[in-house]
Amino acid sequence: MTVLAIKDLNVTFSTEGGQLHALKNVSFDVPERRIVGVVGESGCGKSTLINAILGLLADNGSIDAGSITFEGEDLTRLGPARMQELRGQRISTVFQDPMGALNPVLSVGRQMRNIQYRSGRSRSEKDARSEAMLRQVRIPDAQAALARYPHEFSGGMRQRVAIAMALMMKPALLIADEPTTALDATLEVATIELLRELQQDIACSVLFISHHLGVIAELCDDVVVMYAGEVVERGTTRQVFHTPRHPYARRLLECDPARQSGRTRHLPTIPGEIPDLRQRPPGCVFATRCDQRVDACDKVPPDVAVETGHVARCVLAEAR
Amino acid sequence: MFAAVSDLRRTERTRTMMRVLREPLGAFGIALVLLMVGGAVFADLLTSYDPSRISPRDRFQAPSLDHLLGTDHLGRDLFSRVLHGGRIALSVALFATATSLAIGVVLGLVAGYGPRWLDAVMLLLFDSIKSFPTVMLALALVTLFGPSLTAVVIVVILVNVPGYARIIRTQTLALKGSEFVTAAQSMGAGTTRILRHHIMPNVISPLLILASMDIPVVIAIEAGMSFLGLGVRPPTPSWGSILNDGFTAIRDTPWIAVAGGLPIILTTLGFTFLGETMRDLFDPRLKRRT
């Protein structure tokens, strides 16, 4: 069963320079109990995607077409009151910067109590739950930790507190927005293992946003590769990482520093820049930077199903 | 377990109070404030004289054991009048400051968090009110409603609210886009929840210190308006009206003016010292290791 199904989602922002088409025909599914990674460089629409799901697009942004189906409800058609009900209860979020995401002047215990405001539990029940949750994310001395303020924790602990808060209401979907980017490498591994463990415990699905390919490969079941507001390739992690079919996905994988054999002074890059999203090229968005472009690239590329579940938006991707 | 949280909070607060006491200026300020508040609260125990009983035989008596601060032109006991005047001054100061705080915080949050046009309208309103000189504002109001304690309170609120609201508005504006507000939003908190639980605790403490430093100003406004006959109506005692009574007879009987002026000076000093010490202790830029 799919928890979240995004179909042909289009989001535009009206800016002074004209309409900015931030997401174009984005489709993918987050199946139950799976971890789906979204990868792409900065500005490819990852944050817009999150905000569109949460119903928190900026005032100048709007969903023009498409649907976001979450547990049978189309989020694009829900009123603000119902959306607010879902947020924090059924859909939860962990942010990149754990210091910024926690209120600096409230104790952790109070913030965790705040999150449960709709649960109808008594104060002591809420606190007991908070404490249990902190213990689950392995915060030492959980009881004392409730009385502490965010600045009294280390970066890794803060992120674990944020994860505890996000999973407190046992959501069906956890959106993790680059949760390990602000952490150092050792903490990153520990946090990922913790996330995986908790995901299995709570049996929720995770939408994991990152630009770190290693983390995605390690953690995710499925991968969605985004470029300039489009899903250029999606499939299982194995499919995308072993047989990437879209030239962008292929180049992105080649650019991963972890894949370099031997020492080099020059890490590979993809020449060129993301096109101006206010004036999208009529054909393939990646055409200007692609080293395999052909004449057909001037037309809108089809979504080619390479294998079951493995789709690439490129004329050169052929079904096997 | 939650006792633990509140315990920690309590000790934190006690510690801050202890630090205020350790500063000589702060201790002096607290002593003065306690003296004036004590005098006002226990006025009936400290003197047996009725503050408004006229006794023509005892007019213009110099301070003595009978009349600790002497008597005025109507033979009323000045010590009793000062103590009872303190009740008026302090209750007006506390009530008006608390009310301005409450209104200022709400308006500031609305202006800072609400739509831009509302913010613009409210700023215009704050600035227009602020542009009136206090005395002119007081005169205008008294002309409309007549002199009374209510007029004093309204003037104080009108004078204080724009400043408080502006401070809260600016800070709210700065916090509006902060990540923890977005995080709270994405976790299902509504607007009122965000304002109450996330923004207000972040913006309130500097305002409390400012308000405590504004109390002397409020006391001076009340005394000033009563001095001009725009505030408390006679025979109710007020420090300002005592000062006015003494003003006309200052050559022959200076103690009347002293009886009116001294409590104003002492209370003002007390609250100022207290407020400044608190500001210094709370201001992280001035914070020293203790």
> Which whole number is the average pLDDT over A53-61?
90
> What pLDDT, in 10s, does the model give residues A114-165?
888 888 889 999 999 999 999 999 998 999 999 998 888 988 899 999 999 9
Cα gap A116→A214, rounded to integer Å: 34
Cα gap A243→A310, rounded to integer Å: 10
- Cβ–Cβ gap B187/A106 under 8 Å: no
From chain A, the residues in CB contact with B8 under 8 A are: 147
Q: Where in chain A is the domain with CATH 3.40.50.300?
A: 2-90+171-313
- Cβ–Cβ gap A104/B185 under 8 Å: no
CB-hemisphere CA count at 13 Å for A123? 6
- Cβ–Cβ gap A103/B193 under 8 Å: no
Would you call A276 an interface residue with chain B, using a CB distance cutoff of 8 Å? Answer: no
Using the predicted structure, report yes or no on whether residue A236 has a pLDDT greater than 90: yes
- Look at residue A13 in the predicted model and tell me its pLDDT: 92
Q: Of A74-78, B123-127, B235-239, which range is least confident?
A: B235-239
Determine if the pTM surpasses 0.80.
Answer: no
Q: How large is the angle between the packed helices B255-282 and B78-113, nearest 10 degrees? A: 30
Residue closest to B182 by CA, chosen among A222, A95, A145: A95
What three-state secondary structure class fits A105? coil
From chain B, the residues in CB contact with A56 under 8 A are: 182, 185-186
- Look at residue B13 in the predicted model and tell me its pLDDT: 60
Tokens of residue A177, six digits: 């927005």
CB atoms within 10 A of CB B124: 10
> What pLDDT, in 10s, does the model give residues B60-88?
777 777 777 777 777 788 888 888 888 88
Using the predicted structure, report yes or no on whether residue A250 has a pLDDT greater than 70: yes
> If you classify domain B37-282 with CATH, what class do you get?
mainly alpha
- Look at residue B289 in the predicted model and tell me its pLDDT: 43
Would you call B180 an interface residue with chain A, using a CB distance cutoff of 8 Å? Answer: yes
> What pLDDT, in 10s, does the model give residues B201-218?
888 888 888 888 888 889
Q: Which band of pLDDT confidence, cut at 50, 70 and 90, is reported for residue B290?
A: very low
Is the distance from CB of B223 to CB of B135 less than 8 angstroms? no
- Cβ–Cβ gap B183/A102 under 8 Å: yes
> What pLDDT, in 10s, does the model give residues B120-133?
999 999 999 888 88
Top pLDDT among B289 and B21 is at B21
Preceding omega of B235 cis (within 30 degrees of 0) = yes
Comparing CB atoms, the residue among A92, A124, A146 nearest residue B187 is A92
Top pLDDT among B280 and A59 is at A59
Residue closest to A218 by CA, chosen among A246, A190, A245: A190
Using the predicted structure, report yes or no on whether residue A63 has a pLDDT greater than 90: yes
Using the predicted structure, report yes or no on whether residue B3 has a pLDDT greater than 60: no
Cα gap A303→A318, rounded to integer Å: 10
Domain ranges of chain B: 37-282
Average pLDDT, chain A: 89
Would you call B5 an interface residue with chain A, using a CB distance cutoff of 8 Å? Answer: yes
> Which whole number is the average pLDDT over A68-83?
91
Q: How large is the angle between the packed helices B255-282 and B239-248, nearest 10 degrees? A: 140
Would you call A271 an interface residue with chain B, using a CB distance cutoff of 8 Å? Answer: no
Q: Which string of b and e fits A25-51 if b means at least 16 CB within 10 Å?
A: bbbbbbbebbbbbbbbbeebbbebbbb
Q: Which band of pLDDT confidence, cut at 50, 70 and 90, is reported for residue B9?
A: low
Using the predicted structure, report yes or no on whether residue B100 has a pLDDT greater than 60: yes
Using the predicted structure, report yes or no on whether residue B10 has a pLDDT greater than 60: no
> Which whole number is the average pLDDT over B263-288?
77
- Percent of chain A past pLDDT 90, that is, above it, reads 45
Opening angle at CA A269, ends A266 and A271, nearest 5 = 125
- Cβ–Cβ gap A88/B189 under 8 Å: yes
Would you call B189 an interface residue with chain A, using a CB distance cutoff of 8 Å? Answer: yes
Would you call A159 an interface residue with chain B, using a CB distance cutoff of 8 Å? Answer: no
- Cβ–Cβ gap A93/B197 under 8 Å: no
Length of chain A: 320
**Cβ-based neighbours of B6, under 8 Å, separated by 6 or more:** none
For tokens 């680059």, what's the residue? A178
- Cβ–Cβ gap B179/A123 under 8 Å: no
From chain B, the residues in CB contact with A124 under 8 A are: 1-2
Using the predicted structure, report yes or no on whether residue B1 has a pLDDT greater than 50: no
Probe site for chain B from A50, A53, A97, A103 (most B CB atoms < 10 A): A103
> Which whole number is the average pLDDT over B43-72?
74
Average pLDDT, chain B: 82
Would you call A116 an interface residue with chain B, using a CB distance cutoff of 8 Å? Answer: no
- What phi and psi, each to the nearest 5 degrees, are found at residue A188? -60, -50
- What phi and psi, each to the nearest 5 degrees, are found at residue A120? 75, 10
Opening angle at CA A203, ends A199 and A205, nearest 5 = 70
- Percent of chain A past pLDDT 70, that is, above it, reads 99
Give the best-scoring range by mean pLDDT among A79-93, A176-190, B229-243: A79-93
Q: Which band of pLDDT confidence, cut at 50, 70 and 90, is reported for residue B11?
A: low
- Percent of chain B past pLDDT 90, that is, above it, reads 17
Is the distance from CB of B225 to CB of B159 less than 8 angstroms? no
- Look at residue A320 in the predicted model and tell me its pLDDT: 54
What three-state secondary structure class fits A261? coil
- Look at residue B288 in the predicted model and tell me its pLDDT: 47
Using the predicted structure, report yes or no on whether residue A68 has a pLDDT greater than 90: yes
> What pLDDT, in 10s, does the model give residues A253-284?
888 877 777 777 777 888 888 888 888 888 89
Opening angle at CA A151, ends A145 and A152, nearest 5 = 40
Q: How far is B207 from chain A (nearest CA, A)?
A: 15
- Paired with B248 in beta bridges are none
From chain B, the residues in CB contact with A97 under 8 A are: 179
From chain A, the residues in CB contact with B13 under 8 A are: none
Residue closest to A162 by CA, chosen among B179, B69, B286, B229: B179
CB atoms within 10 A of CB A209: 24
- Cβ–Cβ gap B4/A105 under 8 Å: no
Residue closest to A316 by CA, chosen among A300, A299, A304: A304
Top pLDDT among B262 and B63 is at B262
Is the distance from CB of A282 to CB of A271 less than 8 angstroms? no
Q: Which residue of B has its CA nearest to A131?
A: B1
- Paired with A21 in beta bridges are A12
Probe site for chain B from A51, A82, A83, A105 (most B CB atoms < 10 A): A105
Q: Which band of pLDDT confidence, cut at 50, 70 and 90, is reported for residue B283?
A: low
- Look at residue B83 in the predicted model and tell me its pLDDT: 87
CATH of domain A2-90+171-313: 3.40.50.300
Cα gap A205→A171, rounded to integer Å: 9
Q: Which band of pLDDT confidence, cut at 50, 70 and 90, is reported for residue B284?
A: low
Burial of B84 (0-12, 13-18, 19+ CB in 10 A): buried
Tokens of residue A296, six digits: 């057909």
